[in-house]
């Protein structure tokens, strides 16, 4: 088996980057200064992936690790892999191969009686197209290096796994052979390697226009740079059209929603949305708003959940990536002119908090009155899961579900639309328009993703002092439901 310790041109990660977008590859090679700092939430996802990779090694124990000491020097890793294969080492972790300027490292390489088998670990719950290209590149580099695999497999998370006691890797993971899919991609991989090598060493950036690849299969780290000329109230926000159609319109010169020329042919309410943007105005469907406002009963509860989502289920009777609520905020209006009363819950990070969460939630919500949420499907889904885990509360939980009303409906269904929403009905887009005195901008925790990541870190390090972060979480979640109160009052004023 041959190795080449010269500096590689493409690695597995840069090959995938270039496969998604050649411009992203070129920018990564030539303009890394444009990459923004990695958000803590993104880093947490990376750390979870590393944890999953280590756990998957237990499926093939007693292996030797060929990882490099530094990712800037793979030479020793390549030589060690070569020696371990020569010695007949049955299990190798992070086996490294390089051929003709292309570097690839395989998560787990296993020798069985009939030959070598490759296993790549992914934290997703199923195989995706980009992962097939990832594995196909590894197969190509290994084969060209002189090691022919008998099989190539993906190890991914089993979404149906439910924890009971210690996590069992053989039940948590699924192993899926993708050998024939990988073999079928070999000619395409060889062609793509030649193409991307030229991109990587070119002095001129590819003229790749922004498109679907900027956010799919993941959000590109250069999106902010490439989208710097996308205006506010962009046509790319106008979900009346499919995503590809929006990009076609954008590149043809229709940059903003207000620039649309055939808007009169659109159906309601999209036609009114465009008209709002053309006139810098608002649209109100008074009849639908009136019917909505008249559908509630006092006392009014404004409720919001924050959730965690671990790849490795943290509790018995929990599953991978299950959204588990750890915090709620409730603002209550006893009558039309009453001042809101606030209730809140923030779990302890030391133990399974789910039963305490639902018990206190049911107490704070009482037995009567409308419960407003913002995106009903989310809270309903969490409540349904809790009723399955704790059937003793099922009747009470179902009663709460029957009281839920979605405060987002007037905005998502365009009964009220302001051009400043830019086609979004998220609470963070609506609030600055209807209640500008309230703002998330100066909060240390100002979005649900960050709130989730902080609490998951608390669970991993429960003995640390998290008192300041707990205050920040309480402040953030309380603002969510305070915002809902102000949005409701705004709609009530209109009616």
Q: Tell me: the pLDDT tens digits for 236-246?
A: 999 989 999 99
Note the pLDDT tens digit of each residue in 131-158. 999 999 999 999 999 999 999 999 999 9
CA angle, residues 68, 72, 74, in degrees to nearest 5: 40
Alpha helices in 167-284 (DSSP H): 169-172, 179-184, 186-201, 223-226, 243-251, 270-279
Report d(CA 173, CA 55) in Å as an integer: 10
Task: Label residues 27-55 b or e (16+ Cβ within 10 Å = b).
Answer: bbbeeeeeeeeeeebeebeeebeeebbeb
Note the pLDDT tens digit of each residue in 245-302. 999 999 999 999 999 998 989 998 899 999 999 999 999 999 999 999 888 999 999 9
Burial tier of 394 (Cβ tally within 10 Å: 0-12, 13-18, 19+): middle
Residues 191, 235 within the same domain: no
Residues 226, 259 within the same domain: yes
Look at strands 404-406 and 324-333 and give their pairing. Answer: unpaired
Task: Label residues 265-301 b or e (16+ Cβ within 10 Å = b).
Answer: ebeebbbbbbbbbeeeeebbbeebbeebeeebeebbb
Residues 81, 161 within the same domain: yes
- pTM given for the model: 0.92
What CATH number is associated with residue 176?
3.90.320.10
**Per-residue model confidence (pLDDT) at position 5:** 60
Is residue 119 assigned to a domain? yes
Closest CA to 412 of 377, 371, 375: 375
Residues 329, 430 within the same domain: yes
Closest CA to 91 of 73, 77, 110: 110
Task: Say whether pLDDT at 72 is over 80.
Answer: no
What mean pLDDT is predicted for residues 22-40?
A: 95
* CB half-sphere exposure, 110, CA atoms < 13 A: 17
Closest CA to 238 of 415, 27, 422, 6: 422
Note the pLDDT tens digit of each residue in 301-313. 999 999 999 999 9
Is residue 2 assigned to a domain? no
Is residue 349 assigned to a domain? yes
Residues 308, 341 within the same domain: yes
Is residue 478 assigned to a domain? yes
> Scanning the structure block, which residue is given the tokens 């007693």?
62
Residues 232, 306 within the same domain: no
Residues 293, 398 within the same domain: yes
Phi, psi of 211 (to 5 degrees): -170, -165
What mean pLDDT is predicted for residues 152-172?
A: 97
Task: Label residues 114-142 b or e (16+ Cβ within 10 Å = b).
Answer: eebbbbbbbbbbebeeebbbbbbbbbbbb
Is residue 404 assigned to a domain? yes
Within 10 angstroms of residue 423's Cβ, the number of other Cβ atoms is: 20
Closest CA to 214 of 352, 361, 27: 27
Residues 89, 66 within the same domain: yes
Among 282, 310, 327, residue at a domain's last position: 282
**Per-residue model confidence (pLDDT) at position 70:** 81
Q: Which domain holds residue 92?
A: 12-201
Note the pLDDT tens digit of each residue in 197-233. 999 999 999 999 999 999 999 999 999 999 999 999 9
Is residue 1 assigned to a domain? no
Residues 54, 191 within the same domain: yes
Task: Say whether pLDDT at 6 is over 90.
Answer: no
What CATH number is associated with residue 303?
3.30.420.10
Is residue 323 assigned to a domain? yes
Among 282, 300, 335, residue at a domain's last position: 282
Residues 51, 185 within the same domain: yes
The total number of structural domains in the chain stands at: 3
Report d(CA 168, CA 190) in Å as an integer: 39
Among 229, 261, 282, residue at a domain's last position: 282
Note the pLDDT tens digit of each residue in 94-104. 999 999 999 99
**Per-residue model confidence (pLDDT) at position 1:** 57
Residues 393, 459 within the same domain: yes
Residues 323, 464 within the same domain: yes
Is residue 250 assigned to a domain? yes
**Per-residue model confidence (pLDDT) at position 42:** 87
């Amino acid at each position: 088996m041959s190795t080449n310790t010269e500096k590689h041109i493409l690695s597995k990660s840069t090959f995938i980057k270039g496969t998604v977008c050649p411009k992203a590859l070129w920018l990564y090679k030539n303009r890394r200064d444009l990459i923004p700092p990695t958000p803590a939430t993104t880093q947490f996802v990376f750390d979870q992936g590393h944890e999953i990779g280590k756990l998957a090694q237990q499926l093939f124990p007693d292996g030797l690790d060929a990882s490099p000491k530094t990712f800037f020097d793979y030479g020793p890793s390549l030589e060690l892999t070569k020696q371990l294969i020569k010695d007949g080492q049955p299990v190798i972790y992070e086996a490294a191969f390089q051929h003709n300027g292309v570097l690839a490292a395989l998560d787990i390489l296993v020798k069985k009686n009939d030959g070598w088998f490759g296993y790549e670990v992914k934290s997703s719950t199923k195989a995706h197209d980009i992962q097939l290209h990832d594995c196909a590149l590894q197969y190509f580099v290994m084969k060209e290096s002189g090691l022919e695999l008998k099989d190539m497999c993906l190890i991914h998370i089993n979404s149906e796994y439910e924890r009971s006691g210690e996590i069992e890797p053989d039940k948590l993971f699924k192993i899926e052979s993708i050998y024939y899919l990988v073999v079928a991609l070999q000619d395409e991989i060889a062609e793509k390697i030649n193409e991307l090598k030229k991109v990587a060493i070119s002095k001129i950036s590819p003229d790749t226009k922004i498109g679907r690849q900027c956010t799919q299969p993941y959000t590109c780290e250069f999106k902010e740079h490439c989208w710097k000329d996308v205006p506010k109230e962009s046509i790319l926000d106008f979900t009346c059209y499919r995503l590809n159609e929006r990009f076609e319109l954008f590149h043809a010169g229709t940059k903003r929603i207000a620039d649309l020329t055939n808007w009169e042919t659109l159906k309601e309410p999209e036609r009114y949305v465009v008209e709002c943007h053309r006139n810098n105005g608002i649209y109100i469907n008074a009849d639908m708003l009136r019917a909505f406002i008249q559908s509630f009963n006092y006392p009014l509860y404004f409720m919001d959940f924050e959730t965690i989502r671990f790849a490795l289920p943290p509790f018995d009777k929990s599953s991978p990536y299950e959204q588990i609520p750890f915090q709620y905020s409730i603002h209550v209006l006893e009558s039309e002119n009453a001042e809101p009363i606030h209730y809140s819950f923030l779990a302890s990070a030391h133990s399974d908090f789910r039963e305490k969460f639902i018990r206190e939630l049911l107490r704070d919500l009482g037995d009567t009155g409308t419960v407003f949420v913002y995106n009903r499907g989310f809270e309903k889904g969490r409540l349904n899961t809790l009723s399955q885990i704790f059937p003793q509360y099922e009747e009470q939980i179902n009663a709460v579900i029957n009281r839920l009303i979605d405060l987002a409906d007037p905005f998502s269904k365009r009964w009220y639309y302001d051009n400043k929403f830019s086609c979004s009905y998220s609470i963070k887009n609506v609030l600055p328009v209807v209640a500008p005195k309230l703002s998330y901008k100066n909060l240390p925790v100002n979005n649900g993703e960050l709130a989730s990541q902080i609490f998951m870190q608390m669970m991993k390090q429960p003995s640390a002092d998290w008192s300041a972060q707990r205050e920040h979480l309480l402040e953030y979640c309380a603002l969510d439901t305070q915002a809902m109160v102000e949005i409701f009052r705004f709609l009530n004023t209109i009616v």
